Amino acid sequence: MTASRAPAEPTVRQFEAAVERVDGHEIVLEDTYFYAESGGQPADRGTLAGIVVDDVQERDGEVVHVLAEEPTDVVTGDSVAGVIDDHFRTYCMRAHTASHVLYGAARRVCDGLGYAGFDISPEKVRVDLTAEEPLDDDDLVELERLANRAVWDSLSVRWETMSATEARAIEGIAFNDRTEEGAMAEGEGATGEGATGEGTTDEGVRVVTVEGWDVAACGGTHVENTAEIGTIETLDRSNPGKGVTRVEFAVGPTAIDRDAAVHAAALNAAKVVNSDIDGLVSSIDRLREENERLEAELQEATAARLTSRLREFETTDVDGARVAVGTVDGVDPNDLREPAETVVGDGGDAPADALVAVGPGPAPFVVVAADPEASADIEAGAVVDAVTDEFGGGGGGGPTFAQGGGLDADPEGIVDWLRERE
């Protein structure tokens, strides 16, 4: 059985090791510093015997190096050189430790916190959390603030292997064999926050501790101090499943570029509202209030204009009822409800028992309002049904208000048809 030495000695980038087995494009070494994909951390990149390593996987207790081409000159017993991609390994170390720092921040923000996994991609990292309440934007900002404070505080990071019994005794430890399988010896389970507790043995659990901040079972590679992580920039949050909040963040160049983009956007927004960044929030609140006031005034003016327009409709007799019929432009069907009900509800001043307004194409709509106190027997829903039976489309409603849409006719043609139903 071979195991990667990467988690224990993550700073090693070059090594030599004897070949234990060669099978086509695959090589198994007696010893290796390549990290095998596990627990959300991708496999290391690099070269082995001068050939690009496409993948590294652990299978049946062996670390299998999958090469880009078959190593024709390598046989069992040969000593080969391994070179690990320094840039990618360093990124993964920083990103993985950053995920622990972010989880530690979440401990301080969320109630009933649980861990549901994580994943490192070349551009960003995701951490899945469970909590009593979903995280909102304010929580996301606080996670970022706390995580970067932990980076600034230069907290030491250490890792050690202990028995499962010892690990369980650590207060607040989080480990889960479904998401951190690399932390367990083969056949082990897990206990603690977010874990099942089934099949746990005392063969060994690898525990990673961020001093005074977070402790978790983990089989990944890590930096030795949080200061090595650099900027942590939260990118987004989502809910991929019931009770799960996914937080996406970045470290390294992506985080730096995102931070610069956010800063530039804030400066531009401040310039637009004639403010500085410190006064941006209050300026936006003031503009929002002004916008809401103007929208309310616009809606009131629009309703008054529509009411005036509807009162100008010519009336006609339809099945013994006085019906005001006409066309409208530049409005949404929902904008017409209040004005139409106002017109037919004017009591003795109402121009008609019901009102029918036909909107513009290419798929005209119809809105019908009927006076519930009118002596004539006319229902808004019945009028819409008659119109859609004749001109297609669909719709519906009740006795006093109904609407339909998708009509296959010219608005004036629909009005003429209604007026001919005397």
What pLDDT band is residue 347 in, cutting at 50, 70 and 90?
Answer: low
CA 191 and chain centroid, separation: 29
Mean pLDDT within 355-364: 90
What is the structure's pLDDT at 185? Answer: 44
Encode 47-69: b = buried (16+ Cβ within 10 Å), e = exposed: bbbebebebbebeeebbbbebee
What pLDDT band is residue 190 in, cutting at 50, 70 and 90?
Answer: very low
- Chain region(s) in the chain for CATH 3.10.310.40: 308-419
Residue 32 corresponds to which tokens in the numbers above? Answer: 């290796």
Is pLDDT of 349 > 80? no
- Tens of pLDDT, residues 7-29: 999 999 999 999 999 999 999 99
What pLDDT band is residue 253 in, cutting at 50, 70 and 90?
Answer: very high
147 within 8 A of 101, measured Cβ to Cβ: yes
What is the structure's pLDDT at 188? Answer: 34
- Between vectors from CA 393 to CA 390 and to CA 394, what angle results, nearest 5°? 105
What is the structure's pLDDT at 421? Answer: 73
- Calpha distance 360→335 (Å, rounded): 14
- Tens of pLDDT, residues 113-134: 888 889 999 999 999 999 988 8
Is pLDDT of 194 > 70? no
Residue 277 corresponds to which tokens in the numbers above? Answer: 């960044």
Mean pLDDT within 314-339: 87
230: exposed, middle or buried (C-beta count within 10 Å: 0-12, 13-18, 19+)?
A: middle
% pLDDT > 90, the chain = 64
User: What is 14-84's CATH number?
Assistant: 2.40.30.130
Q: What are phi and psi of 183, to 5 degrees?
A: -80, -15
Question: Which residues are registered as beta bridge partners of 324?
Answer: 315, 355
Domain 308-419: give its CATH architecture: Roll (3.10)
Compute CA distances 96 → 187, 191, 237, 256, whole Å: 24, 21, 18, 17
Q: What are phi and psi of 308, to 5 degrees?
A: -65, -40
Is pLDDT of 177 > 60? no
| Cis preceding-peptide flag for 42 (omega within 30 of 0) | no
- Tens of pLDDT, residues 366-390: 999 998 877 677 889 999 999 999 9
Q: What are phi and psi of 236, to 5 degrees?
A: -165, 165
When comparing pLDDT for 399 and 185, which is higher?
Answer: 399
What pLDDT band is residue 422 in, cutting at 50, 70 and 90?
Answer: low
- Tens of pLDDT, residues 129-143: 999 888 999 999 999
- Calpha distance 203→197 (Å, rounded): 15
Residue 227 corresponds to which tokens in the numbers above? Answer: 């200061």
Within 13 Å of residue 54, how many CA atoms lie on the same side as its CB? Answer: 8
- Chain region(s) in the chain for CATH 2.40.30.130: 14-84
Domain 90-265: give its CATH architecture: 2-Layer Sandwich (3.30)
What is the structure's pLDDT at 419? Answer: 85
What pLDDT band is residue 246 in, cutting at 50, 70 and 90?
Answer: very high
Mean pLDDT within 304-309: 90
Q: Which residues contact 83 (CB under 8 A, 6 or more apart)?
A: 13, 14, 46, 47, 48
What pLDDT band is residue 3 in, cutting at 50, 70 and 90?
Answer: confident
Within 13 Å of residue 72, how many CA atoms lie on the same side as its CB? Answer: 1
Is pLDDT of 331 > 90? no
Is pLDDT of 187 > 60? no
Is pLDDT of 306 > 50? yes
Is pLDDT of 42 > 90? yes
Compute CA distances 223 → 8, 56, 111, whole Å: 11, 21, 28
What is the structure's pLDDT at 176? Answer: 58
pTM, two decimals, is 0.71
Is pLDDT of 184 > 50? no
What's the chain's Rg over C-alpha atoms?
34
Lowest mean pLDDT among 14-18, 154-158, 322-326, 342-346: 342-346
Mean pLDDT over the full length of the chain? 88
